Structure 1
Amino acid sequence: MKKRALSALLCLALCFALAGQAAAAEGGVSFTVNGTPLAEDVRSYAEDGTTYVSYGAILFALYPDATAVWANGRAEVAAEGLTMYLKPGAKYIEANGRCLYVPGGVRSEDGVILVPVRTLCQALGAEAVWDSATNTVNITAASGPIVSGDSYYDAEDLDLLSRLIYAESGNQPLEGKIAVGNVVLNRVASPLFPNTVADVIYQPNQFAPAGSGHLSRTPNAESVVAAKLCLDGANTAGNALYFVNPVTSPGSWASRNRPYVATIGAHAFYA
């Protein structure tokens, strides 16, 4: 589990480092795919350190035989080895059963869907390099689309993490669900706690649902999405190892003894 979580974080960090994005946005960004400049203009802009790009031109340059249709309120993409869904307003892209975090949400402007370049590259199995001298994003095909969720996620970890997230934060916003999952995975990675998802969750006197039978409840869809996002490296809780509801647990041990990290929804998180 440690290696898998670390791999996800490294993938996000290495997939695309877009230095100087604000300056690039002012001067206009160009794109190449496998060394060939894209013939058509690609809509893009930088916001809070993230470059959004219209996905279509890059998709079809990498996968000429791809299809993209609008159905069920989202763009549904199919290509060899790839199934991808992009829903405006959603805070993630779904690709081959994986969920990739988009904190600012998938955008739609004048009927054009825009997503963060590095997230799109991860889904499409591409590598991207920013050339600051020419304001160009150079995108190169790698070994194929993103590995499927069935292969990437440990099924037992995903199921148990989804159930814990649902039991602890099923009524919380997506960011809060992710944060609860982060606490579990942070503990897995910490020498202070057991080193598997199951052992962390079932450690005595840690997570109330583990002892109350509430983990038997089927998680809702967003709790499963949150678990996938966590396993793919999404993090909203930093290095938090504890969380409490300050309304139902005022003066908790964590609030008195551990560094405060953030409050997300109904929960306060501590490292």
Structure 2
Amino acid sequence: MAYSDRELLARLIECEAGGEGNEGMAAVASVVMNRVYTPYGEYSRVSNGGSIRNIIYQKGQFTCAMETVNGEYNPQNIYNMNPTNIHYQIADWAISGGRLYNLGYALWFYNPFQNDCRDFFPSEVGSLITKIGRHCFYNPTEKYLQT
């Protein structure tokens, strides 16, 4: 299925953070758009000048963009989402340049399934900036520049 960038982002927002409230969904959208527009490192090359599609579909990045995980069907994927008006509103806000001020330039998030966030994202390419809902968010470090 060929979804528009807006549709892909709305579906990813719902899938990755649908239960995290407006701030959590906006944070996930901010991370995607930060990756789209970062001027350096891996995501700069992947976005190829601003491609939301390339960022969302980059291999191994978003579980919700994968139809299979560990060789098994992933029912929690963007193709099974039914975005509502709020998901589209947040996607539009992010695409038009909206970002959460407390997120900095976060390029990663994850749900640790515990109360505490680790200080660094794997390989120390990101350092903890904040926790919103159940997700930990990470800004790039100098090490990320080498990716």
Both structures adopt the same fold (TM-score exceeding 0.5): yes
Q: Taking every aligned residue pair, what percent have the same amino acid on both sides?
A: 32
More strand by share: 1
Aligned to 1:162: 10
1:224-250 residue CA offsets vs partner (Å, 9 max, x unmatched):
111111112221122000001122697
TM-score, normalising length from structure 1? 0.40
Cα contact 1:246–1:252 (8 A) shared by 2: no
Mapped partners of 1:220, 1:253: distance in 2: 34
Q: Which of the pair has more CA radius of gyration?
A: 1
Structure 2 counterpart of 1:261, which letter? I
The alpha-carbon distance between structure 1 residues 220 and 253, as it changes in their structure 2 partners (threshold 3 A), is farther
Mapped partners of 2:120, 2:104: distance in 1: 19
Structure 2 counterpart of 1:266, which letter? R
Counterpart of 2:105 (choices 235, 239, 251) is: 239
SS in 1 for 2:112: coil
Cα contact 1:170–1:220 (8 A) shared by 2: no
Counterpart of 1:228 (choices 92, 107, 114) is: 92
Cα contact 2:118–2:128 (8 A) shared by 1: no
1:210 to 2:73 alignment:
no
Consecutive unaligned residues in structure 1, runs of 5 or more: 1-154
Aligned to 1:200: 55
SS in 2 for 1:260: strand
Q: How many residues matched?
A: 117
Cα contact 1:182–1:230 (8 A) shared by 2: yes
Counterpart of 1:254 (choices 109, 115, 121) is: 121
1:221: Cα distance to partner? 2.3
Consecutive unaligned residues in structure 2, runs of 5 or more: 68-73, 140-147
* Structure 1 runs, 4 residues or longer, greater than 2 Å off: 248-253
1:270 to 2:134 alignment:
no
The alpha-carbon distance between structure 1 residues 239 and 209, as it changes in their structure 2 partners (threshold 3 A), is same
TM-score, normalising length from structure 2? 0.71
Please provide the CA RMSD for this pair.
2.3
1:220: Cα distance to partner? 2.6
SS in 2 for 1:259: strand
Cα contact 2:119–2:128 (8 A) shared by 1: no
Structure 1 counterpart of 2:128, which letter? Y
**Higher RCO (C-alpha under 8 Å, 6+ residues apart):** 2
SS in 1 for 2:137: strand
Mapped partners of 1:172, 1:225: distance in 2: 15
Cα contact 1:162–1:224 (8 A) shared by 2: yes
Superposed, 1:102-121 pairs within 5 Å as none
